[in-house]
Amino acid sequence: EVHLLESGGGLVQPGGSLRLACEASGFTFKSYVMSWVRQAPGKGLEWVSAIIASGETTFYADSVKGRFTISRENSKNTLYLDMTSLRAEDTAMYYCAKPNYGVFDSWGQGTLVTVSS
């Protein structure tokens, strides 16, 4: 059974930084593209970023490009999201998701990021 466990969320001031992590189990992590998806309070789902299996290619939503960096450590079955220059509008629940040919068939429970002074 696929299991994705996010961590690293919390309260951070505007302009601050935070690193999210997602520990994966139940599947061959190093063989899959992985993604982050977020949901701001009262808003819909927003795809944030993706990274291919090898880690060599990454993709970002325009809203986070240049501020967020996705990475992975296949030896530790772990996905990361480094977030810098955080803004109030980055406040959201951040989900780690495993795409299967682009479709998110497995999700973590999410980690909450709050950007506020």
Distance, in Å, from the CA atom of 117 to the CA atom of 112, rounded to the nearest integer, reads 16
Task: State the nearest-atom distance from the C-beta of 75 to another protein, in Å.
Answer: 26
In the complex with another protein, the residue whose CB is nearer, 2 or 16, is 2
Could you give the CA distance from residue 43 to residue 45 in angstroms, rounded to a whole number? 7
* Residue with Cβ nearer another protein (60 or 80): 60
Least spacing, CB of residue 103 vs another protein, in Å: 4
What is the Cα–Cα distance from 107 to 85, expressed in whole angstroms? 26
Q: Which residues would be at the binding site for another protein (CB under 8 A)? A: 35, 37, 44-47, 50, 59-62, 95, 99, 101-105, 107-110
Among candidates 21, 106, 27, 109, which has minimal Cα distance to 71? 21
Task: CB nearer to another protein: give 50 or 115.
Answer: 50
